[in-house]
Amino acid sequence: MSAIKCYQHNMIREILEEPDVIRRTLTEERENIRRIAEDLKDYEIFYVTGSGTSYHAGLASQYALSSLTGIITSTLPASEFHRWVPQNLSKTKRALLMAISQSGESTDIVSAAKA
């Protein structure tokens, strides 16, 4: 409760804590990150999808994934995913979909994951 008194808004405290939280997460999850990075090398393209703020998180993820892996990464709104991703993609390229959702129940997200 005292931390809230130090800042006019709790959100400001959380924003200022982000660098330490990210460092701690990267340290604690180092082995998982390495394992996932190794698994990602098998893919030729990443698709990221989400709705609303989850879509915006996907845009940030697109930059990070592309920069860190060198693999083409494309972020699409979940409502548009089925229109832009070719149906025969799985036959031509090894593709990975990262579907971001707060609830995991959004119809558009579930449809994109099934596509």
| CB contact set of 71 (below 8 Å; sequence gap of 6+) | 40, 43, 44, 45, 46, 65
- In terms of pTM, does the model score above 0.85? no
Percent of the chain with pLDDT over 70: 90
- Element (H or E) spanning 76, and its range? strand 72-77
Written out in words, the top-level CATH class of the domain with range 41-115 is alpha beta
User: Where residue 59 falls among pLDDT bands split at 50, 70, 90?
Assistant: very high
3-class DSSP assignment, residue 11: helix
pLDDT at 11 over 60: yes
Q: At what angle do helices 30-40 and 10-28 cross, to 10 degrees?
A: 70
- pLDDT tens for 98-108 read 999 988 788 88
| Residue ranges per structural domain of the chain | 1-39, 41-115
Residue range 51-71: average pLDDT?
91
pLDDT at 65 over 90: no
Residue 85 zone, left/alpha/beta (φ > 0; ψ -120 to 50; rest): beta
User: Where residue 91 falls among pLDDT bands split at 50, 70, 90?
Assistant: low
Residue 41 zone, left/alpha/beta (φ > 0; ψ -120 to 50; rest): alpha
Task: Give the integer Cα–Cα distance in Å for 73 and 32.
Answer: 21
